[in-house]
Chain A
Amino acid sequence: MTDPANARLPHAKRSMAAAGRKWLEIAWSKSGLEDMHPTIHEAQLFLLLAIIIGLFSGLLVVCFQISIEWVRITLLGSTLAPSTLRVIVMPTVGGLVVAFLVMKVFPRVRGSGVNQTKEAVYIYDGYIPFSTVIGKFFLCALAIGSGHSLGPEDPSLQIGSGVASALGRRLKLSREKLRLLAPVGAAAGLAAAFNAPVSAVLFVIEEVIGRWNSGALGAVVLSAISGVVVERGLMGSEPLFRIPVYRLAHASELLAYAGLGIVGGYSSVVFVKLIAYLRPRLKALPRRTQYFQPAIAGFIIGVMGIWLPQVMGSGYHVIDQVINEQYIWQMLILLAVFKILATTISFVSGTPGGMFAPTLFVGATVGGAVGAIERHFFPGLTGSIGSYALVGMGTLFAGFLRAPLTSVFMVLEVSGDYSIIVPVMISNTIAYLISRHYVDTPLFDLLAREDGVDLPSMEEQRESRSLCVEDAMRATNGLVLEAADSVNSALERIKGSPDSIFLVRYKNGKWANIKGPVLRGLAGDAKGGLPLEDVYTSATLPVVHPDQPLDVALRQINDWPYLPVVSRADPRKLDGAVSIQDILSAYKHAPHE
């Protein structure tokens, strides 16, 4: 067996690794622990590993956040409005350095990190090279710190999954577990970066795994919590934003939140379409231009930053200011427009960095603008503008990233106020529907397809309709024999029936089947007057229910000619029967998604 980690090492290193392993083997056998130590099952190891991954990811994400801030203070200064020279030069030079390193040293560092993690899960059996983790860490810190309009969450997600992958490989976990480990690390990284474990778990399930897998869920939750514990322990337990108290001034204010959903939905559409339009065109340019694209993007962002320094970097402090009503609505609209432009330019240029923070920024500014405009025209009908900004964050998340469940829980988790749920749900649903109407493919799927990778679309998976037993079952025409009936009366009932096999119903709700010739044989043996249950013994038939997925029937049918489909309320009540031909026919005629 080849250890893939070792396979990539040069010969000298492989020899050293083999020697180390040999030493460990000898030490282990001499220690006497071999007989004493309990066996660690892979499932237990997986959960333990989830905690370790969470801790490692949390620590790395803390370092990552500190690095971004350190780079920002060093390059742009501690002020919120850096000098014109710095604002122009730093993102440009930062872009140049980042582009060079991406092209020459870390080619897999491009992009946000979400699709790369999905690729690891669905294509590379959970494999993420550790060099990608290192590259992501340093290049994103440089890009975001120098002022590129990108966020640290998606890179943190990839850093977490990279750590998980590396540990899983070291422990030689099975391919199945390795595939599951990447999302486990992703949840830890995202949770630590966003200081929101529930949202991180939901996002990973909604966008990376795509289904509620009980095997992964426990590990994902454990790792996310571990990551957040480390992050809060080292960075403080203060919330990401100072959240004002939510209050609904009047029930009719919900209409304003619906309006926010519409504005947020259209903003998401513009944002996605802009990226979808520009990214393939820039990628199609000659390869040498990719050395300069991030620098040009940095220059353009720098020019914007002369007047609007708020659009530079991840912009968390600006979101906080928006939530705390520090901007007038005209300024909020300007910030939203220029943040969309700055983020699009940064992202399509190939600069590594995430889309979460910019999405939240645009959402907060759009929400704040809607709230401020409403207050301007209907002062009595508006609660806190900060609440609109908060709801706006979720709205853009729903419309732009198309993660509706995460978008709702993210706002709840960030605000810590469950009374905001009604406006959030109204606004998010409207934005999500508008986005779906105008943009067929969600952003991450779109990016993957542009890169020539066919990753499973989680949205399509969520919405695909699985076939149920009721789609395949057929009526039994009443030819059900009661086990308590005599053999002769049973023969009388089946007289003239074209079927050769019949279902037998027992009083206790069990089912069996009997062939016509067998029944006639029992009558010939002078057992015609006896009850069927006394003279005929057969294996109990497995039963299925109409609402069960069809693959359940497929797995249970084995060699039985057909299975009884019974009611959940009364196992003696037959709703129909399903045969292997029925199942295959249902699959064959099922509409294609």
Chain B
Amino acid sequence: MDCVRGTTLPGYWTESILVFCAIGLGILFIITGFAAQTYHAKERALGKEWFEKGTKELQAEQPENAIADFRTALVYSPSNDEYEFSLAKALLAAHHKDEANAHLIRLWEHQPENGEVNLELGRLAIRNLDITQALRYFHNSIYGDWGQQDAVGQRRKARLELYRFLISRGASSQAQAELMALAAELPPDPQLHVQVGQMFFAAHEFNQAQKQFDQVLQSDKNNKEALAGEGEIDFESGNYHNAVIHIERALRRDPQNTKLEHMLEVSRLVLTIDPYEPDLPNAERTRRIIRMFQQALDRVQKCAQPEGESIAQPEPQNPPNPQTPPQPLTPLQNLYALVMKMQPQVKDSILNRDADKGTAVLTMVKVMENSTDTACGPKASLDEAITLALLKQGGSP
């Protein structure tokens, strides 16, 4: 093997070699730079090609194929957040929660303010039923950056989604707080106001719900959903006069709505049967009380029949047999016995004379309706109206 011995170099030799090195480096830089540029362009093109393929697969609801495509895209553009986000969405669609979480967390570390990433993390937290994390990520999403997208719309959707999750988890106070915030930021879109109004209604926030429906009716007085909403609020609030007005108007726009039809029927019945209506003549009041009593009694009797239960008390044995002890009475039999005891006094003449008797009869009506309520299933409209009319006066049913 030859080897180089240390030597004194002529000046020109070293410097010439260094100049040649510099020239060589320059040339190699140009060649390598060109190769690197071409290579990067090719990588970008391949990444885009696989990303587009994956996007189509995901749209065609083939997430497993999309995952493979997005992974390939990421091999060529490993730091492309859009590709990685799409991969995370495909993984979520294919129920690969852990892997999706890893990608989303990585993206979140890059862009903690990204609304979309936070939203997906929030959805993952929902899947894991983790309210704390869901609130954190959804709030990040709501106050986050949505880039080129419709930020206001996206934030609203995120808040709506969070609200639904909170309601489903029974976190009603947190849900209502979200709803309040949502209502405060609503654009003048009737559909949105109706949607939020319905949510307030579902949360029994009738005042807030009414505000939303009123706002809609100001711009579109015939909006059937807003009218229905107003009608339902009136109905639930015991304001049956207004309920009839709003529901009738709503039904004119939506005649097939059976729920509204039923509410209208009940509202009308309440108005015709309510014994507490102000300025009601005494005779009419008595007539209504007697009608309510008869209806409740009918229900008690009908209620007992399908089970073959004899509503009347059994005759006492004469002489009493010590071997067979007396059968205990059923609740309905007890109630029926009390009603029968009261029935002779449920007459115009007595009730007109004694207002307290009328009150006692109404109390019995309430007891009968409640007893049959638990024992006999759904009520007829009139029974429902009786219950509502009595409820309107106050006290628990």
Q: Is A80 a contact of B71 with CB atoms below 8 Å? A: yes
| Interface residue? A259 (CB, 8 A) | no
Q: Is B12 a contact of A244 with CB atoms below 8 Å? A: no
Question: Bound state CA distance, A73 and B72, in angstroms?
Answer: 12
Known: A59-B32, A127-B1, A245-B109. A170 touches B17 (CB 8 A): yes
**In the complex, chain B residues whose CB is within 8 Å of the CB of A169:** 4
| Interface residue? B278 (CB, 8 A) | no
Question: Residues 1-27 of chain B: 1 if any A CB is under 8 Å from the residue's CB, otherwise 0?
Answer: 111111101111111111001001100
Q: Is A78 a contact of B72 with CB atoms below 8 Å? A: yes
| Interface residue? A214 (CB, 8 A) | no
Which of A104-112, A172-180, A198-206 makes up part of the contact surface? A172-180
Q: Is B4 a contact of A174 with CB atoms below 8 Å? A: yes
Q: Is B3 a contact of A127 with CB atoms below 8 Å? A: yes
| Interface residue? A7 (CB, 8 A) | yes
Question: Bound state CA distance, A320 and B77, in angstroms?
Answer: 12
| Interface residue? B396 (CB, 8 A) | no
Question: Bound state CA distance, A70 and B10, in angstroms?
Answer: 44
Known: A175-B3, A242-B106. A34 touches B32 (CB 8 A): no
Q: Is B7 a contact of A174 with CB atoms below 8 Å? A: yes
Q: Is A52 a contact of B99 with CB atoms below 8 Å? A: no
| Interface residue? B76 (CB, 8 A) | yes
| Interface residue? B105 (CB, 8 A) | yes
> What residue of chain A has the Cβ atom nearest to residue B87's Cβ?
A326
**In the complex, chain A residues whose CB is within 8 Å of the CB of B79:** 238, 242
Known: A234-B32, A234-B36, A325-B99. A244 touches B105 (CB 8 A): yes
| Interface residue? A69 (CB, 8 A) | yes
Question: Bound state CA distance, A10 and B155, in angstroms?
Answer: 77
Identify which of A78, A167, A320 gathers the most chain B CB atoms within 10 Å of its CB: A78
Question: Bound state CA distance, A577 and B18, in angstroms?
Answer: 53
Which chain B residues in 62-102 approach chain A with CB under 8 Å? 68, 71-72, 75-76, 78-79, 98-99, 102
Known: A27-B12, A81-B68. A175 touches B25 (CB 8 A): no
List the count of A-B residue pairs having beta carbons below 8 Å apart: 140
CB distance from A455 to the nearest CB of B (A): 15
| Interface residue? A356 (CB, 8 A) | no
**In the complex, chain B residues whose CB is within 8 Å of the CB of A249:** none
Known: A59-B25, A63-B35, A238-B79. A24 touches B1 (CB 8 A): no
Q: Is B102 a contact of A24 with CB atoms below 8 Å? A: no
Q: Is A78 a contact of B32 with CB atoms below 8 Å? A: no
**In the complex, chain B residues whose CB is within 8 Å of the CB of A78:** 46, 49-50, 72, 76
Number of contacting residues on A, CB 8 A? Answer: 67
Q: Is B25 a contact of A56 with CB atoms below 8 Å? A: yes
Interface residues of B, dominant DSSP: helix
| Interface residue? B276 (CB, 8 A) | no
Known: A125-B1, A170-B17. A80 touches B68 (CB 8 A): yes
Which chain B residues in 192-217 approach chain A with CB under 8 Å? none
Known: A125-B3, A174-B4. A66 touches B39 (CB 8 A): yes
Q: Is A66 a contact of B3 with CB atoms below 8 Å? A: no
Known: A56-B25, A62-B36. A40 touches B6 (CB 8 A): no
**In the complex, chain A residues whose CB is within 8 Å of the CB of B14:** 40, 45, 171
- Name the one of B1, B12, B18, B78 contacting A48, with C-beta atoms under 8 angstroms: B18
Question: Bound state CA distance, A72 and B240, in angstroms?
Answer: 78
Question: Bound state CA distance, A324 and B102, in angstroms?
Answer: 6
Question: Residues 60-95 of chain A: 1 if any B CB is under 8 Å from the residue's CB, otherwise 0?
Answer: 101100100110010000111100000000000000
Question: Bound state CA distance, A116 and B32, in angstroms?
Answer: 26
Question: Bound state CA distance, A543 and B176, in angstroms?
Answer: 87
Question: Residues 97-131 of chain B: 1 if any A CB is under 8 Å from the residue's CB, otherwise 0?
Answer: 01100110110010000000000000000000000
Q: Is B68 a contact of A324 with CB atoms below 8 Å? A: no
**In the complex, chain A residues whose CB is within 8 Å of the CB of B75:** 80, 317
Known: A59-B29, A173-B4, A175-B6. A80 touches B72 (CB 8 A): yes
Question: Bound state CA distance, A25 and B12, in angstroms?
Answer: 6
Which chain A residues in 123-150 approach chain B with CB under 8 Å? 123-125, 127
Identify which of B4, B9, B24, B33 gathers the most chain A CB atoms within 10 Å of its CB: B4
Known: A59-B32, A69-B39, A242-B78. A52 touches B21 (CB 8 A): yes
**In the complex, chain A residues whose CB is within 8 Å of the CB of B4:** 3-4, 125, 168-169, 172-175, 178
Question: Bound state CA distance, A174 and B5, in angstroms?
Answer: 5
**In the complex, chain B residues whose CB is within 8 Å of the CB of A386:** 102
Q: Is A62 a contact of B3 with CB atoms below 8 Å? A: no
Question: Residues 316-327 of chain A: 1 if any B CB is under 8 Å from the residue's CB, otherwise 0?
Answer: 010011001110
Binding site for B on A (CB under 8 A): 1-4, 7-8, 21, 24-25, 27-29, 33-34, 37, 39-40, 42, 45, 48, 52, 55-56, 59-60, 62-63, 66, 69-70, 73, 78-81, 123-125, 127, 167-178, 234-236, 238, 242, 244-245, 317, 320-321, 324-326, 384-386
Task: Name 10 interchain pairs, CB-CB below 8 A, sorted by A.
Answer: A33-B11, A40-B15, A59-B29, A73-B46, A78-B50, A172-B7, A238-B78, A245-B109, A320-B78, A384-B102
